[in-house]
A and B are shown apart, each in its own frame.
Chain A
Amino acid sequence: MSSIRTRLFIILIAATTCIWLFATAWIYFDTKRQLQHVLDTRLMEAARMVGSLVTSGEIALSARADQVSASIPLPEPTHVGYERQLSCQIWSFDGRLIGRSSGAPEAALSNETSGFSEQEVGGEPWRVYAFADRDRGIRVLVGDRLGLRDRLVTDLVRGLVLPAIVVVPLLAFLIWASVGSGLQPLRRLTQGLKARGPEDLSPVSVGHPPSEIRPVVEALNSLFGKVAAAREHERSFTAFAAHELRTPLAGLRTQVQVALAAKDAEIREGAMRQTLLAVDRTSRLVRQLLAMSELDAVPDEGEPQDIVVGRAIEDIAASLRTSHTDVAVEIDPALHHTTIRMNRELFHLAVRNLHENAVQHSPAGGRVRWFFDGSASPPVIAVEDEGPGIPEDEIGQVTDRFFRGRHRSAVGSGLGLAIVDAALKRAKASFVLRNRQDRCGLRAGFGLATADIPVGQVQHK
């Protein structure tokens, strides 16, 4: 029973039928009881009436038992099947049948002197009331057939059940139709969802959804909203990435064309050197784009590991060392005794980009220094360079993707600090970024919540 409509229909029809049956049974039994009472009272009254008529002499009684017929007038039967409901006999105390109504049996209806009794007469059960008039020495018996009583009740109940049998299919149709129209908003929702294309992430509109469906519609719309936002983010990132790649590619192409066209060896060599620079920059940009999209795409970054900070930074710095930089890299010895708990990939991404950033913005012969600041809360691992720093009004923006401030380096992409920021957010570390106080330059690093540093392993010389 997967269809709500079918299920509701069956439940409603079954419930209606049960209630109807129950009500019918109730009416049957109650009516039967009431009817007994009413008919008994009628028997009693009829007997008394006959008795009083006999007493007043308005009914002449025959002395002979066989001369009874038509002595008591009864109303003309109006309902076929219900005529001759009552039968009346008048007996003398000595056991002679003095009079009887037409159609009444000749056998005594009751042996009782007075009161109610039930008796089999002529193969039929009868209910009889006996009334004795001692002054006149007669006994009036008035009775009716129990079979007739039962038929009365049965007819009554049939009168109830027959319309029900006609009405139930009608009711079934109404239930089916109204359940269907009640489920209309749901069907509209389904059709709307089915009809939309994979690109369509607009909110679902179902007019005024009923309160039962509204949460579903709202949940759907909120989901659509989230998916659309993620899509948009991805799209703008891709657009930005394509855009950012165009300039270095244009530079590359131009330089290669210059190299090809140049007749002068010096110009050709210059173009080649520029080409090399452009290739370096472009490959770095591509690497950063990959890192960024990886940070975006992979939801789980794995378990944090213990990292000896000094050695890790040394390795990263060594891997980034190129022949055409003359920037001195210094690593605080305290870092060699500092172990942190952090995901290795994220640590690598953050440190690598911080280091690259520092080296790129350093002037020729500048110094880049990694150090540990245990006095800060939380403790900070940071790098300082001797570059131009970041204009104060741009500090808030440098973690935006593709933002390149006024103090841009020749090879910057505007992604480095954005990657650091994203990686640190993932690692639940805080990004510390400010201009140096002692001289121009930038201090960039990360603060680790103390929970990430194993107790007793942080030593600061």
Chain B
Amino acid sequence: MRILVVEDDAVLLDGLKVGLGIHGFTVDAVASCGDARAALATAEFDAIVLDLMLPDGSGLDILRELRRRQDATPILLLTAKDTVADRIGGLDTGADDYLGKPFDLDEVAARLRAISRRAAGRASPVLAWNGIELDPGRRTVEIDGKPVGLSRREFSILEALMRHPGAVLSKDQLADRLYGWEEDVESNAVEVHVHHLRVKIGRDAIETVRGLGYRLRSA
């Protein structure tokens, strides 16, 4: 899952970037409204973690702009202002969840999973496809009840494909979800990870759509 974190406190931003990374998220981190707008204009995110008080404006402005153009990206507000009135204001502006500082890193990760699950309209936290079960919270994959060990990248590719069952994801889309835009990506990195994934979960599970990308083979 690729998420955008907008937070102006450098230490907290770093903590969220690294910490959510440990939880399996691909994190892009920005510290101002301007940078956030630029990031949102160039990439797609599965969820956004948004601070309210930013040096060049309020996070609520970003939230409002997104919702005005019918962008339904799940948004978790993260702020030091957490009176009931603040929460109501944030949620009514279009946020999906609200967390007051200081917070627990694991809870942030769990809430991000929850709001993206709700956004996708899924009831179960576990993704399932043709006997493959992927649990984003516990970060486990089972095939027919037997656990399979996947690397972080492999897990992310499988998760991305299982989130959009039947849809074709291009290499670039997968690379975005794997790396964000801060890391240098080898041109064939996605192919290498898909190759390893096929070895672990079965050659036929992932189908290559020539010239377009990959998708899960339908049953």
Which of A's residues lie within 8 Å of B, judged by CB? 243-244, 246-255, 257-258, 261-262, 267, 270-271, 274-275, 277-278, 281, 404-406, 408, 410
B95-113 at interface with A (beta carbon < 8 Å): 100-106
- Whether A258 contacts B81 in the complex (CB less than 8 A), given A247-B12, A253-B102, A253-B104, comes out as no
Encode B32-57 as 1/0 by CB contact (under 8 A) with A: 00000000000000000000000110
Question: B102 to A262, Cβ gap below 8 A?
Answer: no
A31 to chain B, nearest CB (A): 85
- Whether A281 contacts B11 in the complex (CB less than 8 A), given A246-B101, A261-B22, A406-B55, comes out as yes
Encode B78-120 as 1/0 by CB contact (under 8 A) with A: 1011000000000000000000111111100000000000000
Question: B55 to A246, Cβ gap below 8 A?
Answer: no
A184 to chain B, nearest CB (A): 43
- Most chain A CB within 10 A, of B10, B18, B103, is at B18
Which of B's residues lie within 8 Å of A, judged by CB? 8-12, 14-16, 18-19, 22, 55-56, 78, 80-81, 100-106
Q: How far is the CA of A247 from the CA of B100 in the complex (A)?
A: 10
Question: B56 to A255, Cβ gap below 8 A?
Answer: no
Q: How far is the CA of A248 from the CA of B77 in the complex (A)?
A: 17
- Whether A258 contacts B12 in the complex (CB less than 8 A), given A250-B101, A250-B102, comes out as no
Nearest CB to that of A277 among chain B residues?
B11
Q: How far is the CA of A249 from the CA of B14 in the complex (A)?
A: 14
Contact partner, B15, options A255, A404, A406, Cβ 8 Å? A255
Nearest CB to that of A407 among chain B residues?
B55
User: Knowing that A247-B101, A277-B10, A410-B10 are A-B contacts, what are 17 other residue pairs whose CB atoms are under 8 Å apart, sorted by A's residue number?
Assistant: A243-B80, A246-B101, A246-B102, A247-B12, A248-B11, A250-B80, A254-B12, A258-B18, A258-B105, A262-B18, A270-B18, A271-B18, A274-B11, A274-B15, A278-B11, A281-B11, A405-B55
Question: B55 to A408, Cβ gap below 8 A?
Answer: yes
> In the complex, what residues of A have CB within 8 A of residue B10's CB?
277, 410
> In the complex, what residues of A have CB within 8 A of residue B104's CB?
253, 257
What are some 15 contacts across the A-B interface (CB < 8 A)?
A: A247-B101, A248-B12, A249-B101, A249-B102, A253-B103, A253-B105, A254-B103, A257-B105, A261-B22, A270-B14, A274-B11, A275-B11, A281-B11, A405-B55, A408-B8
Nearest CB to that of B19 among chain A residues?
A258
Q: How far is the CA of A70 from the CA of B81 in the complex (A)?
A: 120
> In the complex, what residues of B have CB within 8 A of residue A249's CB?
101-102
A413 to chain B, nearest CB (A): 11
> What are the 6 tightest A-B residue pairs by CB atom distance, in nearest-first order?
A254-B15, A251-B12, A251-B11, A250-B101, A250-B102, A246-B80
A437 to chain B, nearest CB (A): 26
- Whether A247 contacts B15 in the complex (CB less than 8 A), given A262-B22, A404-B55, comes out as no
A interface, by DSSP: helix, strand, loop or mixed? Answer: helix
Nearest CB to that of B99 among chain A residues?
A250
Question: A257 to B55, Cβ gap below 8 A?
Answer: no
B19 to chain A, nearest CB (A): 4
Nearest CB to that of A405 among chain B residues?
B55
Question: B103 to A250, Cβ gap below 8 A?
Answer: yes
> In the complex, what residues of B have CB within 8 A of residue A248's CB?
9, 11-12
> In the complex, what residues of B have CB within 8 A of residue A258's CB?
15, 18-19, 22, 105
Q: How far is the CA of A246 from the CA of B12 in the complex (A)?
A: 11
Q: How far is the CA of A250 from the CA of B80 in the complex (A)?
A: 9
Question: A261 to B81, Cβ gap below 8 A?
Answer: no
Q: How far is the CA of A375 from the CA of B15 in the complex (A)?
A: 50
- Most chain B CB within 10 A, of A254, A261, A262, A270, is at A254
> In the complex, what residues of A have CB within 8 A of residue B101's CB?
246-247, 249-250
Q: How far is the CA of A306 from the CA of B108 in the complex (A)?
A: 55
Question: B80 to A247, Cβ gap below 8 A?
Answer: yes
- Most chain B CB within 10 A, of A251, A274, A281, is at A251
> In the complex, what residues of A have CB within 8 A of residue B19's CB?
254-255, 257-258, 261
B74 to chain A, nearest CB (A): 20
Contact partner, B18, options A253, A267, A404, A410, Cβ 8 Å? A267
Nearest CB to that of B83 among chain A residues?
A239
Nearest CB to that of A408 among chain B residues?
B55
Nearest CB to that of A404 among chain B residues?
B55
